[in-house]
């Protein structure tokens, strides 16, 4: 895959995410960042696929980009993480896969349906696992940091 | 600390409903309601949120303190519900489920202001009512956003300029049509089926009229904002975190939407092929 193609896709994907966030009525100040994250996750996804990585890991790491930056931004902006996850996840989420699966079923192409359904399920599982893992990690990290801060405070108060 | 059960039920019901209606997951709704209850001095309260409704049992007011801390719902009176008053149960139905991140954020902020002690119960209630009655914006502008994102996605899926313009038109029309049906009590199945039919027939018409363009790319690009990709992700996440009922309910929702969209597109395409058209 050429760099020019990647840059073009990044720009297109970022613009598409901007309009998607507007449609979801994301808070205005979050839109530029979520759009850039959406573009970046698509680039990661495409790069992994172009380097012959399995599809599941492409979905997993594409989602990882979104989830990690969403948790960071949620702490910075003091907003719930889904506000950042929903718009920027749109490019990576295999909605078209879902549609192709259902179309195969409707058009009675059962062999293709079986393949597509399995792939779709695993793709969604990869995405969900990435989201859940990041959420758990972020929660335990912030819990750890807050207890450490409290302990430090207590120590300081004990000294003085 | 206020000791007003009626006011608290209204705040809880409205906050839970706002979160569930505007795309929040059930876990968030439950957590928010539990925090509000705890901040109002009723830590033994229980919440069960589903995609279709929320049930809350508000425990009697508990003022006890164990050591330095307020009761966390584990004192004798709270866990056995033998406190000063009687427990109150509240059920709210959630009838529409859309994604409106701004309302979600505002509801979350209002709830957090109350739990941090920055707002009183009546203030929170008026704030939540304001959020609930907020207008949802212009449907034509929404349709333009939808069209633009659909067009750009078709570009991303390998289309050219012609596909971009076609997908813009399809996404624009589909969003308008679905916003027309949004307030009538038509089934979600029919709404998505009609969306699929509109998109597929427009794509078929445009490609045959101009004799160019890839019909599959146009259809896939324009379906992007009707497809329940996020709902599917939430379904699996809910199931994994143990919210089994809401996970299964969301699965059913996703299956229905995907099948009705594909059904709408499939009907149009099979008629088109039957009339002698070629799907390229």
User: Cα separation of A138 and A120, whole Å?
Assistant: 27
Instruction: Show the CA angle centred on residue A122, arms to residues A119 and A64, nearest 5°.
Output: 125
Q: How large is the average pLDDT for residues A89-94?
A: 88
Is a pLDDT exceeding 50 seen at residue B237? yes
Three-state DSSP string of B204-247: HHHHHHHCCCCHHHHHHHHHCCCCCHHHHHHHHHHHHCCCHHHH
Q: Give the helix/strand (H/E) hosting B13.
A: helix B5-21
Shortest Cα distance, chain B CAs vs residue A124, angstroms: 6
Distance CA A143, CA A137 (A): 10
Q: Is B127 on the interface with A (CB under 8 A)?
A: no
Position of tokens 């919440």? B47
Tell me which of A19, A21, A112 to substitute to probe the interface with B (most B C-beta atoms closer than 10 Å). Answer: A19
Predicted local confidence at residue B84, as pLDDT: 61
- Alpha-carbon distance B272 to nearest alpha carbon in chain A (angstroms): 14
- What whole-number percentage of chain A has pLDDT above 90? 41
Is residue B102 within 8 A of residue A27, CB to CB? The reply is yes
Q: How far is CA B63 from the centre of its chain?
A: 36
Residues whose CB is less than 8 angstroms from the CB of residue A18 and which lie 6 or more positions away in sequence, other chains included: A31, A32, A35
CB contact, 8 Å: B131 with chain A? no
Residues of B with Cβ-Cβ distance to A105 under 8 angstroms:
259, 262
**A98 to chain B: which residues are within 8 Å by CB?**
227-229, 232, 254, 258
Is A10 touching B (CB cutoff 8 A)? no
Res B128 pLDDT > 50: yes
- State whether residue B117 is helix, strand or coil: coil
Interface of B with A in 151-170 (CB under 8 A): 152-153, 155-157
SS3 A97: helix
Contact in structure between B238 and B27 (CB atoms under 8 Å):
yes
H helix intervals, chain A: 3-23, 31-50, 55-77, 82-89, 95-106, 110-159
pLDDT of residue B38: 84
Question: Can you give the pLDDT at residue B1?
Answer: 45
Q: Under an 8 A CB cutoff, do B266 and A103 touch?
A: yes
Chain B residues whose CB is inside 8 A of the A80 CB are 24, 28, 104-105, 108
Domain ranges within chain B, ordered by starting residue: 5-133, 139-274
Q: Report CA torsion sign: B20, A88, A76, B102.
A: negative
Contacts of A102 (CB under 8 A, 6+ apart): B258, B259, B261, B262, B263
Residue B79: the pLDDT is 58
* Assembly ipTM: 0.85
Alpha helices in B117-214 (DSSP H): 121-133, 139-156, 161-181, 188-210
Residue B50 parent element (H or E): strand B46-50
Top-confidence range, B79-83, B87-91, B193-197? B193-197
Taking the C-alpha atoms of residue A20 and residue A16, their distance in angstroms, rounded to an integer, is 6
Among chain A residues, the shortest Cα distance to B239 is held by A128
Render pLDDT for B86-103 as a digit per residue (tens, 0 to 9): 778 889 988 888 888 889
In chain A, residues with a C-beta closer than 8 Å to the C-beta of B102 are 25-27
Is the CA virtual torsion A121, A127, A130, A133 positive or negative? negative
Q: Where are the domains of chain A?
A: 3-159
pLDDT in tens, B203-216: 999 988 888 878 88
Higher pLDDT, B196 or B98: B196
What is the torsion angle, in degrees rounded to the nearest 10, for the CA atoms of residue A40, residue A45, residue A46 and residue A48? 120
* Closest by CA position to A89, among listed B207, B37, B23, B200: B23
Rounded-to-integer distance, Cα A64 and Cα A19, Å:
22
- Smallest CA–CA distance from B196 into chain A, residue: A99
**Min Cα–Cα distance to chain B from A143, Å:** 16
81-110 of A, contacting B, C-beta below 8 A = 82-83, 86-87, 89-91, 93-96, 98-99, 101-103, 105-107
A80 with B106: CB under 8 angstroms? no
Residues in B closer than 8 angstroms to A79, CB to CB, are 105, 108-109
Establish if A15 touches chain B: CB-CB under 8 angstroms: yes
Q: How confident is the model at residue A44 (pLDDT cuts 50, 70, 90)?
A: very high
Number of H helices, E strands in chain B: 11, 5
Closest CA to A126 of A36, A31, A57: A57
Q: Which chain B residue has the Cα nearest residue A9?
A: B156
Are B70 and B49 spatial neighbours (Cβ–Cβ below 8 Å)? Answer: no
Q: Chain A contact for B271, CB < 8 A?
A: no
CA distance A42 to A36: 10
Q: How confident is the model at residue A63 (pLDDT cuts 50, 70, 90)?
A: very high
CB contact set of A121 (below 8 Å; sequence gap of 6+)? none
The shortest CB-CB distance from B241 to any of A93, A102, A132 is to A132
Report how far residue A76's alpha carbon sits from residue A70's, in angstroms, rounded to the nearest whole number: 10
Query: Which among B28, B14, B29 has a CA at the least distance from the CA of B126?
Result: B14
B233, B241, B261 member nearest A93 (Cβ): B233
Tell if the pTM clears 0.95, that is, is over it: no
Distance of alpha carbon B188 from alpha carbon B149, whole angstroms: 23
The SS3 assignment for B27 reads helix
Across the interface, whether the CB atoms of A99 and B225 are under 8 A apart is answered no
Q: Per the structure block, which two tokens stand in for A138?
A: 């972020």
**Partner A contacted by B241 (CB < 8 A):** yes
* Contact state of B263 with A25 under an 8 Å Cβ cutoff: no
């Amino acid at each position: 895959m050429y760099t020019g193609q990647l840059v073009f896709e990044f720009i297109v994907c970022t613009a598409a995410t901007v309009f998607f966030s507007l449609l979801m009525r994301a808070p205005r100040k979050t839109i530029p960042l979520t759009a850039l994250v959406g573009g970046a996750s698509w680039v990661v996804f495409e790069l992994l696929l172009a380097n012959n990585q399995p599809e599941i890991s492409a979905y997993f790491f594409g989602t990882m980009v979104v989830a990690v930056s969403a948790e960071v931004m949620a702490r910075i902006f003091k907003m719930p993480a889904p506000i950042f996850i929903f718009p920027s996840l749109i490019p990576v989420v295999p909605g078209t896969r879902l549609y192709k699966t259902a179309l195969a079923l409707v058009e009675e192409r059962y062999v293709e349906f079986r393949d597509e359904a399995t792939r779709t399920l695993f793709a969604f599982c990869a995405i969900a696992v990435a989201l859940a893992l990041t959420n758990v990690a972020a929660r335990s990290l912030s819990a750890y940091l807050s207890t450490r801060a409290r302990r430090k405070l207590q120590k300081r108060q004990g000294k003085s | 600390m206020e000791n007003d059960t009626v006011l608290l039920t209204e705040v809880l019901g409205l906050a839970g409903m706002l979160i569930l209606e505007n795309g929040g997951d059930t876990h968030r709704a439950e957590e928010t309601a539990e925090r509000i209850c705890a901040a109002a001095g009723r830590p033994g309260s229980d919440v069960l949120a589903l995609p279709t409704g929320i049930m809350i049992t508000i425990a009697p007011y508990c003022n006890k303190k164990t050591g330095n801390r307020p009761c966390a719902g584990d004192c004798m009176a709270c866990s056995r519900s033998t406190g000063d008053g009687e427990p109150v149960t509240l059920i709210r139905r959630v009838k529409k489920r859309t994604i409106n991140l701004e309302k979600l954020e505002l509801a979350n902020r209002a709830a957090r202001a109350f739990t941090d002690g920055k707002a009183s119960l009546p203030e929170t209630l008026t704030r939540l009512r304001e959020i609930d009655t907020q207008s949802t914006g212009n449907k034509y502008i929404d349709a333009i956003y939808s069209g633009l994102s659909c067009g750009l996605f078709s570009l991303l899926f390998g289309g050219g300029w012609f596909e971009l313009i076609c997908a813009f038109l399809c996404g624009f029309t589909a969003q308008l049509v679905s916003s027309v049906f949004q307030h009538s009590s038509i089934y979600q199945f029919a709404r998505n089926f009609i969306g699929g039919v509109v998109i597929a027939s427009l794509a078929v018409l445009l490609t045959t009229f101009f004799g160019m363009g890839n019909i599959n790319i146009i259809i896939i690009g324009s379906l992007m904002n009707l497809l329940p990709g996020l709902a599917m992700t939430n379904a699996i996440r809910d199931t994994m975190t143990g919210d089994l009922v809401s996970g299964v309910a969301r699965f059913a929702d996703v299956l229905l939407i995907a099948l009705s969209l594909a059904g709408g597109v499939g009907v149009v395409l099979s008629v088109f092929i039957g009339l002698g058209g070629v799907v390229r």
